[in-house]
Amino acid sequence: MASNICLWLWFSYITSLHVIFTLALSDNYIIHMNLSDMPKSFSNQHSWYESTLAQVTTTNNNLNNSTSSKIFYTYTNVMNGFSANLSPEEHESLKTFSGFISSIPDLPLKLDTTHSPQFLGLNPYRGAWPTSDFGKDIIVGVIDTGVWPESESFRDDGMTKIPSKWKGQLCQFENSNIQSINLSLCNKKLIGARFFNKGFLAKHSNISTTILNSTRDTNGHGTHTSTTAAGSKVDGASFFGYANGTARGIASSSRVAIYKTAWGKDGDALSSDIIAAIDAAISDGVDILSISLGSDDLLLYKDPVAIATFAAMEKGIFVSTSAGNNGPSFKSIHNGIPWVITVAAGTLDREFLGTVTLGNGVSLTGLSFYLGNFSANNFPIVFMGMCDNVKELNTVKRKIVVCEGNNETLHEQMFNVYKAKVVGGVFISNILDINDVDNSFPSIIINPVNGEIVKAYIKSHNSNASSIANMSFKKTAFGVKSTPSVDFYSSRGPSNSCPYVLKPDITAPGTSILAAWPTNVPVSNFGTEVFNNFNLIDGTSMSCPHVAGVAALLKGAHNGWSPSSIRSAIMTTSDILDNTKEHIKDIGNGNRAATPFALGAGHINPNRALDPGLVYDIGVQDYINLLCALNFTQKNISAITRSSFNDCSKPSLDLNYPSFIAFSNARNSSRTTNEFHRTVTNVGEKKTTYFASITPIKGFRVTVIPNKLVFKKKNEKISYKLKIEGPRMTQKNKVAFGYLSWRDGKHVVRSPIVVTNINFNL
Ligand SMILES: *[C@@H]1O[C@H](CO)[C@@H](O)[C@H](O)[C@H]1NC(C)=O
Ligand SMILES: *[C@@H]1O[C@H](CO)[C@@H](O)[C@H](O)[C@H]1NC(C)=O
Ligand SMILES: *[C@@H]1O[C@H](CO)[C@@H](O)[C@H](O)[C@H]1NC(C)=O
Ligand SMILES: *[C@@H]1O[C@H](CO)[C@@H](O)[C@H](O)[C@H]1NC(C)=O
Ligand SMILES: *[C@@H]1O[C@H](CO)[C@@H](O)[C@H](O)[C@H]1NC(C)=O
Ligand SMILES: *[C@@H]1O[C@H](CO)[C@@H](O)[C@H](O)[C@H]1NC(C)=O
Ligand SMILES: *[C@@H]1O[C@H](CO)[C@@H](O)[C@H](O)[C@H]1NC(C)=O
Ligand SMILES: *[C@@H]1O[C@H](CO)[C@@H](O)[C@H](O)[C@H]1NC(C)=O
Ligand SMILES: *[C@@H]1O[C@H](CO)[C@@H](O)[C@H](O)[C@H]1NC(C)=O
Ligand SMILES: *[C@@H]1O[C@H](CO)[C@@H](O)[C@H](O)[C@H]1NC(C)=O
Ligand SMILES: CC(=O)N[C@H]1CO[C@H](CO)[C@@H](O)[C@@H]1O
């Protein structure tokens, strides 16, 4: 996506500034320490870290001992350790001190840049919305670019008092770095706002003057994601007339706490700040975290999101993360972390249209995303072929031009027509993607069938040049067929950091999402700067907060459920059929059926997730068993779990996950054989019997033992075994998949099963 390219450029820019102007070779590090080694004389961790670092400096006698300012964060919830700016000598020296476990460099993370509630089947009178009271006492923490607190989506009209479990005290906006919550821009909806830029400033001291010490969103991303998850209801929202209607977050009564970690115009974020933000969110008492950013493909014990969210999971906090926008190739996913939910992005059933009406009264509709207020009345219309002759185009100024080239030249055709400053352009193409539609001048894309009608009309009026047309814009249509589909950009699995857990987990709406936007940040997709308090944007950044919102509703309805139970409920009840009753398609793979590497378990269905029947629950030790089986060292595991000792007596890659992934690339084997063990918990009716059924995988035999589960009471657990047998997959055939469904007449508990020969390197 374009926004990712900008981000990359921004990173390079920062890096070069750093090298050229600051000269010092010091850099930021995140240091893990072993609390068992802390001498009794220290009253707290921070003073021990300070003292250790002071000794490090005196041993490096060529350096000044301004050590306390070098530690910019001491972490308490998510890890035992701190982050500091150190010279290479100091870093080496620190490694020799008692208590040092390991260090990781402070790396940058990428942002994964309203009709959607209805599209998800949410309804005010039944299902997840009323059952959860719209997520009333649930607190959603959002780690992002900050927030625009004045947005109408943060109005708290009619909201009850802030739940007492909330411990957050800060509402930090400019001119009021530490302000008490009653005197601030926060309210009963936006209950906390904090910023974390110490790591960013330590790394890029040169730009400190341009960084506002405030949670205010100067990018727009955080305002959009937080209001998607839990924005209040706002009537009359629209994007220049498109997508008009009521905008509301998925959990419109939940509370929002914002943690700003992404800085600069393009949202540059550093691990040290993100870890500090998650650390703070845990102390503050959030129930749900939404993290629409990630670092590419790191080992779990080096991945800041993996490290910080392990502690969140232990505290019962549900974490939603974005899969990334690097699709559609395999292994492009980030945040493939076993203890979070990883969200892919799909399309909505909505399309933006314009109409061209010919002089003979025939009206033809096509894709249009023109944002201006012009509509063309009775202008001459001419056919200009491929619109590649700019000179010729320049001679038709007061006319509507019709162009017909191929898909590849569409952008060029549009650019030529735009430059020629004609009245408007009608482009004949079967392209389907709104992102391909220029919105800065009056244009409509019509399909080839309608294109023939327009051409015939113009031709018949050729002799006396009397062909005329009108153009009108800003029509929003719903019920578009073959939706949802997994969109092109959405990152695909398997996860490099832990391929044994099938990722992504779920798909949610990510394309053309309307949500709140800062009034002083230009909205995207426009030639000149224009402003609006709502914006339509795309990305797994947008699908991630949808899932955070749904999790808030589920937590509101089922307070005792663990994060893994909520994730299981979301996955096993999702949809795999689109609105034409066919398997959901993958736009990035020629509109063929989307494999679980694109779709995950399916497309989220909040009302069904409310009552999943069975859940696959996972405890902390289960995750540790997985880390042990990945052959990580005790030190590596400690970096994630914070324990000085981790029990690795039962290593297992077979996590109790609601999905199955089998690898068919064992070096010396002509066959694929994989066995999985699962335990399901009955969260539905007291007495019930489930039967297994398998959607076959061509060429493979899948068996389930037992294939009947008889539950006698609620919360009873029963185990079963699933076995996949078949030939070794050919190189050509990379992915085969099917489904296991447990049915009791009321519930369908469905899990995807994938067999693959995709290689991965750990
Ligand atoms: C150490 O301190 C001296 C005097 O305070 C200063 O001139 C020098 O730049 C400092 N060196 C470093 C590496 O910070
Ligand atoms: C460094 O610390 C020592 C004692 O810890 C002190 O005597 C000395 O003055 C300090 N040096 C500087 C440059 O601050
Ligand atoms: C923000 O605070 C830091 C210290 O934490 C300071 O160095 C910086 O100058 C401040 N920036 C602005 C724009 O006030
Ligand atoms: C959106 O605007 C159109 C045209 O003005 C109108 O017909 C339609 O009812 C509006 N839709 C909603 C949901 O307000
Ligand atoms: C143009 O792109 C659309 C998808 O947007 C595709 O369905 C169609 O086949 C393409 N046409 C040609 C001629 O390549
Ligand atoms: C122009 O030609 C079209 C058909 O060729 C005819 O219907 C129309 O009346 C003509 N207009 C004039 C002004 O002659
Ligand atoms: C871990 O090491 C064992 C023994 O060397 C090996 O059999 C196994 O495949 C390794 N596991 C992974 C996930 O690499
Ligand atoms: C992980 O283990 C390797 C091998 O022992 C070690 O070099 C590395 O420092 C460890 N990393 C972390 C973050 O624990
Ligand atoms: C932490 O320190 C304790 C006591 O010294 C030791 O037993 C343990 O192995 C250490 N843990 C790690 C991960 O280094
Ligand atoms: C492959 O496995 C078979 C037995 O399962 C063994 O006889 C053979 O030597 C193995 N081949 C290699 C190359 O390891
Ligand atoms: C963003 C910023 O403030 N850049 C400055 C960094 O420092 C150099 C040299 O002092 C300036 O020229 C840049 O403008």
CATH number, domain at 441? Answer: 3.50.30.30
Quote the CA–CA distance of 323 and 292 in Å, as a whole number: 8
Q: End-to-end CA distance of the chain, in Å?
A: 27
> Per the domain annotation, does 153 fall within a domain?
yes
Same domain, 382 and 330: no
Tokens, residue 573: 């009840």
Same domain, 556 and 473: no
Contact 372, 527 (CB under 8 A): no
Question: In total, how many domains does the chain have?
Answer: 4
* 646 domain residue, yes or no: no
171 Cα–ligand 3 center, Å: 17
The answer to whether the beta carbons of residues 345 and 487 sit under 8 Å apart is: yes
633 located within any domain: no
Probe residue for ligand 11, chosen from 17, 201, 205, 208 as the CB with the greatest number of ligand atoms within 8 Å: 17
Q: What is the mean pLDDT of residues 92-108?
A: 93
Residue pointed to by tokens 């590849």: 408
What CATH number is attached to the domain comprising 192? Answer: 3.40.50.200
Residue 636 lies in a domain: no
Residue pLDDT, tens place only, 714-744: 999 999 999 999 988 877 778 999 999 999 9
Average pLDDT in the chain: 88
> What is the pLDDT at residue 120?
64
- 375 lies in the same domain as 457: yes
Q: Which residues, in sequence order, are bridge partners of residue 752?
A: 739
144 flagged as catalytic: yes
Token pair in block for residue 609: 């997730």
The pLDDT tens digits for 659-695 are 999 988 666 567 778 999 999 999 998 899 999 999 9
Per-residue pLDDT tens digits for 374-389: 888 999 999 999 999 9
Q: What CA–CA distance (Å, rounded) separates 577 from 100?
A: 52
Q: Indicate which residue's Cα is closest to atom 9 of ligand 5.
A: 430
* CATH number of the domain where residue 40 is located: 3.30.70
Q: What does pTM read for this prediction?
A: 0.87
Contacts of 757 (CB under 8 A, 6+ apart): 663, 664, 665, 728, 729, 730, 731, 733, 734
| 632 C-alpha to ligand 7 centroid (Å) | 10
For residue 30, the one-letter residue type is I
Residue 126 falls within a domain, yes or no?
yes
To the query of whether residue 287 is one of the catalytic residues in this protein, the response is no
Minimum CA distance residue for ligand 5 atom 14: 407
Do 94 and 67 fall into the same domain?
yes
Separation in Å, CA 552 to CA 37, 78, 127, 254, 512 = 39, 22, 14, 7, 23
Q: Of 105, 134, 162, which residue sits at a domain end?
A: 105
Q: Among all chains, which residue has been given the structure tokens 């000269």?
A: 23
CB-based contact 542:549 (threshold 8 Å): no
CA of 33 to the centre of ligand 2 (A): 25
Asked if 188 and 295 sit in the same domain, the reply is yes
Which pLDDT band holds residue 762 (cuts at 50, 70, 90)?
very low
Domain that holds residue 200: 116-348+486-609
Cβ count near 303 (within 10 Å): 26
Ligand 1 pocket, residues with Cβ under 6 angstroms: 63-64
Q: Is residue 459 part of a domain?
A: yes
Cβ pair 379, 360 in contact under 8 A: no
Task: Please state, in angstroms and rounded to a whole number, the distance separating the CA atoms of residues 136 and 129.
Answer: 10
Choosing from 609, 637, 667, the residue where a domain stops is: 609
Q: At 311, is the secondary structure helix, strand, or coil?
A: helix
Residues 389 and 461 placed together within one structural domain of the fold: yes
Task: List the residue whose alpha carbon is closest to atom 11 of ligand 1.
Answer: 64
Domain-embedded: residue 742: yes
Do 603 and 501 share a structural domain? yes
Residue 14 maps to a domain = no
Report CA Rg, the chain: 28
Burial grade of 138 (CB within 10 A; 0-12, 13-18, 19 or more)? buried
One-letter amino acid for residue 458 of the chain? I
Residues 146 and 270 in one domain: yes
Query: Using omega within 30 degrees of 0 as the cis cutoff, is the peptide bond preceding 494 cis?
Result: yes
Pair 452, 521 in one domain: no
Most confident of 68-77, 592-601, 727-736: 592-601
Atom of ligand 4 nearest to the CA of 238: 1
- Of all protein residues, the one whose alpha carbon is nearest to atom 6 of ligand 1 is 64
Reported as a pLDDT band with limits 50, 70 and 90, residue 20 is very low
How many CB atoms lie under 10 A from the CB of residue 577?
11
Q: State the CATH number of the domain containing residue 736.
A: 2.60.40.2310
381 and 325 share a domain? no
Answer yes or no: do 378 and 469 share one domain: yes
pLDDT at 166: 97
Q: Which residue's structure tokens are 């080694």?
A: 37
With a cut of 80, say whether residue 431 has pLDDT above it: no
Domain-terminating residue out of 41, 70, 105: 105
Q: How far is residue 762's CA from residue 759's CA, in Å, rounded to a whole number?
A: 10
List the single range of 6-20, 262-276, 589-603 with lowest mean pLDDT: 6-20
Residues 427 and 395 in one domain: yes
Q: How many CB atoms lie within 10 A of CB 88?
A: 10
Question: With 50 as the cut, is the pLDDT of residue 528 above it?
Answer: yes
Q: Over the stretch 461-496, which tens digit does the pLDDT of each residue have?
A: 988 889 999 999 988 888 788 899 999 899 999 999
For the beta carbon of residue 91, count every other beta carbon within 10 angstroms.
Answer: 17
Q: Report d(CA 250, CA 245) in Å as an integer.
A: 15
- 603 as an active site residue: the answer is no
